[in-house]
């Protein structure tokens, strides 16, 4: 079956993307407003897109009723600084608490009972229990329709010591982090614990096409 994305209504397009582009990593983004109000919110339209400079991309959807930027997008656009925290299984419930449609003056970090730690180069705090946190500064942003696409340059990466196997070689015990991601439908998540390995093959000129 084919779905013409040019003619489908907004909700239908969202459901198709949400149900097929999976699993998606979760960016638990912490920001601070110009007035000093802290914010924490999860986003799964998120990924790494480059290493020179090291870049992360966020797709920040606008409020479905007002059409205005939500707190995370507004804070990033106004201050430029934010932290992307990855989400482990133990933090799942606190992460979901930060997804509530709360008033702008609410500190979601306090609301969800999240412990934070100071960042090094940016003002927003990082989430202390996160296995990995990326201190970011807005590189560029594009406002397109219902979303603001933000490219952020990673300034500092924090990885909890217990997950670093060899710092000199950048060997990291990723499975031990027990990261989670988003999958199909509302409220569905996936554990990053079922993995298999395929080595990248060398080119074989003897293989023929067709």
Is 116 among the domain residues?
A: yes
* Three-state DSSP state, 180: strand
- Domain boundaries, position 160: 27-188
The parts of the chain modelled with pLDDT lower than 70 are 209-210
- Structure confidence at residue 105 (pLDDT): 82
Is 169 among the domain residues?
A: yes
Chain segment 3-17, per-residue pLDDT in tens: 999 999 988 999 999
Is 20 among the domain residues?
A: no
CA distance 18 to 61: 13
Single out the residue of 85, 116, 99, 100 nearest to residue 179, CA to CA: 85
Is 150 among the domain residues?
A: yes
Domain count, the chain: 1
* Three-state DSSP state, 150: strand
Is 171 among the domain residues?
A: yes
Q: State the pTM of this model.
A: 0.93
Is 206 among the domain residues?
A: no
In CATH, what number is assigned to the domain containing residue 164?
2.30.110.10
CA distance 134 to 193: 22
- Structure confidence at residue 188 (pLDDT): 93
On whether the CB atoms of residues 14 and 145 are closer than 8 A, the answer is: no
Extract the tokens encoding 148: 């603001």
- Structure confidence at residue 210 (pLDDT): 56
Quick one: residue 160, left, alpha or beta (phi over 0 = left, psi -120 to 50 = alpha)? beta
């Amino acid at each position: 079956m084919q779905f013409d994305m040019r003619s489908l209504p907004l909700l239908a397009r969202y459901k198709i993307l949400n149900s097929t582009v999976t699993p998606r990593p979760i960016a638990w983004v912490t920001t601070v407003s110009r007035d000093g109000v802290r914010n924490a919110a999860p986003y799964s339209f998120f990924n790494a897109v480059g290493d020179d400079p090291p870049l992360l991309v966020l797709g920040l959807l606008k409020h479905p009723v007002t059409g205005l930027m939500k707190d995370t997008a507004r804070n990033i656009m106004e201050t430029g600084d934010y932290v992307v925290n990855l989400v482990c299984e133990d933090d799942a419930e606190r992460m979901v608490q930060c997804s509530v449609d709360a008033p702008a003056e609410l500190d979601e970090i306090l609301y969800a009972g999240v412990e934070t730690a100071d960042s090094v180069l940016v003002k927003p705090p990082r989430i202390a229990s996160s296995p990995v946190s990326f201190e970011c500064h807005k590189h560029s942003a594009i406002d397109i329709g219902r979303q603001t696409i933000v490219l952020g340059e990673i300034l500092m990466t924090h990885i909890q010591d217990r997950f670093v196997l060899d710092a000199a070689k950048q060997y990291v015990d990723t499975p031990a982090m027990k990261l989670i991601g988003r999958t199909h439908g509302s409220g569905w998540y996936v554990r990053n614990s079922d993995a298999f390995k395929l080595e990248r093959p060398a080119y074989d000129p003897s293989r023929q096409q067709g």
